[in-house]
Structure 1
Amino acid sequence: MARLASGFWVGAYLQRLRLADLPVYVTARGDAESGAVLVKLATLDGRARLFHRVTTPEGRRWDILADGPEPEVDAAIARQRGFDPDLWVLEVESRDGRHLLEEDGLAD
């Protein structure tokens, strides 16, 4: 199966979030062709969750990389960026925890 270029996927995800009235920010711009993507979900109560895409025998899916107080999640992002400078980091703000990653076209 062909993979979408990272920049293309990010652009589509940003548009979908904006259409759903979910604030989103690109906090680190990665490689447009093959950069990995992290999505930080800030629930605006001092907590956050960090998602990354994993590949399993069943296919690709989004999994939680870090979950907890926002400074701890930010530290996890900094560690990931330390060994992957081509990494995209997107931050979604949603009090009710919406991130849309499970929706068709974004989940895999």
Structure 2
Amino acid sequence: MRLRSDFWVSAHLRRLGVEGIPAVLRRRGSPEAGAIFVKVDRLDGTADLYGPAPQALFEAEDSGDRRFTALITGGTPLDVEEWLTKEIRFDTDLWVIEIDDRAARHFLDLAE
């Protein structure tokens, strides 16, 4: 069973804070099941965007953990913002976390 989106986001923001990584909740989505997207601004003019991984990539594990996939790597912050704007038009219930970290740390479980 998967955690509600609001609990997962709260826990992830807390973990980032404990690690000393600045992060903010930019957009609040559906508390129960809103998709979660994470923007990582590397503070050097580049940014990454992570979003929910397709279930087919990790369905067999059935651990209930949220898995993510890289949607944009090494793009500009404007590239990421344009992508998010389009996604929000499609899905108004999504969440957006923004992290500022030169080392691009995000602590997300990535699907392989």
Return 5+ residue gaps in structure 1 as ranges.
none
What percent of counterpart residues are identical?
A: 38
Q: Which amino acid aligns with 2:56?
A: T
Q: Which runs of 4+ in 1 moved over 4 A?
A: none
The TM-score, its normalising length taken from structure 2, stands at 0.85
Q: Which structure shows the higher strand fraction?
A: 1
Q: Report what 1:83 is aligned to.
A: 90
* Equivalent of residue 101 in structure 1, options 87, 103, 108: 108
Unpaired runs of 5+ residues, structure 2, are 60-65
Aligned residues: 103
Aligned to 2:80: 73
Which amino acid is the alignment partner of residue 27 of structure 1? Answer: R
CA RMSD of aligned residues (A): 1.5
1:52 aligns with 2:51: yes
Deviation at residue 33 of structure 1 after TM alignment: 0.5
Report Cα offsets for 1:37-63 as digits up to 9, x if no partner.
Answer: 000000011111000121225346311
Secondary structure at 1:56's aligned position in 2?
A: helix
